Each structure stands twice: as structure tokens, then as C-alpha cells.
């Protein structure tokens, strides 16, 4: 019975009958409405509270919460994104970030592209001085900026939820690349440079080719 109650309460949220901030009927009222025991209602409510769909306020009642999918990504990420799965993470990034770049080409503001270019310039300086920690940090900022320019709230939420783990992933990837090929001396054929140029000139082919080449090179490192 508690599952039936849960399904009905969830349906009320999905269909917009209850929206974030709404106070839902009391446990007693719901038990009367469904013709079941308060225990079954309590179990259903507890499940929704655990999932972050409802919030119980002491002395006030139970309210609908704003749903944030990032909560679940944050909890599951340490399990999913293990070091042994770097190839899968790269494949995931490739699928996700290529679409992010396509959207950024169309939606990015000129000042945001300038911000991205400034980050790239700082990356160059960090590379030239072999400042690995600074480079890792800036590389994370570079990708964060791309997600922000997509203007897609779900992509941005995914990045924010996974940011700590993605930054660790970026560090591992760059470190392995530098161990194999040495610290690069940035030139115009650098993939980050071409991504920036593709955005500046609204050239999706240039930006996407550069990004895909960058990820494919990293995939090759972990496939050996």
C-alpha cells in the first residue's frame, strides 16, 4: 500500500498538482484520503523525503522541494567514476562536451569567449613554467566555462555535481599525457587554442575537430 501511495504522491508532483513550496496534506489527511493506515502513508512520505522530493519541517508540515538531480549524481559519482574507468569517463566526456561546444558556439556571449581565452592564456603561462597544479586548476576552469556557455541548465548541473571528480579526472589525464609526451610548449596547433578560435569565429567544425582530437589522443594513452 505504501508503494501505491508513493506512486500517487509522485504523480501529483510530476503533473504539477503540487509544485515546489507547496504544503501537502497531513499524514492523517492522506490516510483518510487513501483509506489506509497512517503507517503506510508514513513509509511513502519517508521515501519521498529520502529522495529529496519532500521536506518535513518540524511543527509546520511537509512541503514539496525543488528537485535537484545533482544530489544523486554527487552521491553516485564516487562509485561510478573510479580510476579504472578512465576510458569510459573520456567517452562520456566526449559525448557530453561535444554537444556543450555546439551549444556554446551559438549561445556564448563575446565576454564569455574572452574569459575562456584569458583562461587559456593563463594555461599557457602555467605550462611554460611547468606549474602543474596551476595548469590542472585552469584546465578545470576552461571546461567549466564551456559548460556555462552552453546555457543548458542540465549540462551545467551535471558539471557542478561531478566537478570535484572531473577535476581529479582532468589532472590524471593531463599528468599521464605529460609523462608520456613531456610538458607541451603551447603552439597554434594546440587543441585548447583551436577550441577558443572556433568559438571566437563561431566555427563549430574547427572547435569540434580540436576537441575530438584532444579526447581521442587521451583515449589512445589509456588504450595502450
Task: At 199, list the grid cell.
Answer: 568559438
Exposure string over 192-208, b if 16+ CB within 10 A, otherwise e: bbbbbbbbbeeebebbb
Calpha distance 149→113 (Å, rounded): 8
Spatial CB neighbours of 75, under 8 Å, sequence gap ≥ 6: none
Q: Which residue has the cell 582532468?
A: 170
62-66, 68-72, 107-111, 143-147, range with the lowest pLDDT: 68-72
Count the Cβ atoms, other than its own, within 10 Å of residue 21.
Answer: 10
Count the Cβ atoms, other than its own, within 10 Å of residue 183.
Answer: 17
Does position 154 have pLDDT exceeding 90, yes or no?
Answer: no
Backbone phi and psi for residue 68, each to the nearest 5 degrees, phi listed first: -125, 100
Task: Note if the pTM is more than 0.95.
Answer: no
Q: Which domains occur in the chain, in start order?
A: 2-64 (1.10.10.10), 70-223 (1.20.120.530)
Calpha distance 108→146 (Å, rounded): 9
State residue 51's pLDDT score. Answer: 81
State residue 72's pLDDT score. Answer: 58
Q: How far apart are the first and last CA of the chain?
A: 54
Assess contact for 150 and 199: CB atoms under 8 A: no
pLDDT digits (tens, 9 = 90+) for 52-98: 889 999 889 999 988 765 555 555 555 555 556 778 888 888 999 99
State residue 79's pLDDT score. Answer: 57
Report how far apart, in Å, the C-alpha atoms of 61 and of each of 26, 36, 94 are: 7, 20, 45
State residue 213's pLDDT score. Answer: 92
Count the Cβ atoms, other than its own, within 10 Å of residue 79.
Answer: 7
Amino acid at each position: 500500500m505504501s508503494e501505491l501511495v508513493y506512486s500517487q504522491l509522485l504523480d501529483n508532483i510530476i503533473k504539477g498538482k503540487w509544485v515546489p513550496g507547496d504544503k501537502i496534506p497531513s499524514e492523517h489527511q492522506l490516510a483518510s484520503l487513501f483509506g489506509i493506515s497512517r503507517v503506510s502513508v508514513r513509509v511513502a512520505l519517508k521515501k519521498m523525503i529520502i529522495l529529496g522530493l519532500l521536506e518535513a519541517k518540524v511543527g509546520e508540515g511537509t512541503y514539496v522541494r525543488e528537485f535537484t538531480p545533482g544530489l544523486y549524481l554527487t552521491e553516485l559519482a564516487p562509485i561510478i567514476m573510479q580510476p579504472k574507468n578512465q576510458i569510459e569517463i573520456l567517452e562520456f566526456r566526449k559525448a557530453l562536451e561535444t554537444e556543450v561546444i555546439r551549444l556554446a558556439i551559438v549561445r556564448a556571449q563575446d565576454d564569455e569567449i574572452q574569459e575562456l581565452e584569458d583562461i587559456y592564456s593563463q594555461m599557457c603561462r602555467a605550462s611554460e613554467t611547468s606549474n602543474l597544479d596551476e595548469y590542472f586548476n585552469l584546465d578545470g576552469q576552461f571546461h567549466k566555462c564551456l559548460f556555462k556557455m552552453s546555457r543548458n541548465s542540465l549540462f551545467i548541473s551535471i558539471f557542478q555535481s561531478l566537478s570535484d571528480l572531473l577535476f581529479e579526472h582532468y589532472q590524471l589525464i593531463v599528468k599521464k599525457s605529460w609523462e608520456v609526451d613531456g610538458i607541451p610548449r603551447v603552439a597554434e596547433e594546440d587543441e585548447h587554442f583551436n577550441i577558443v578560435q572556433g568559438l571566437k569565429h563561431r566555427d563549430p567544425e574547427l572547435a569540434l575537430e580540436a576537441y575530438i582530437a584532444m579526447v581521442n589522443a587521451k583515449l589512445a594513452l589509456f588504450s595502450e
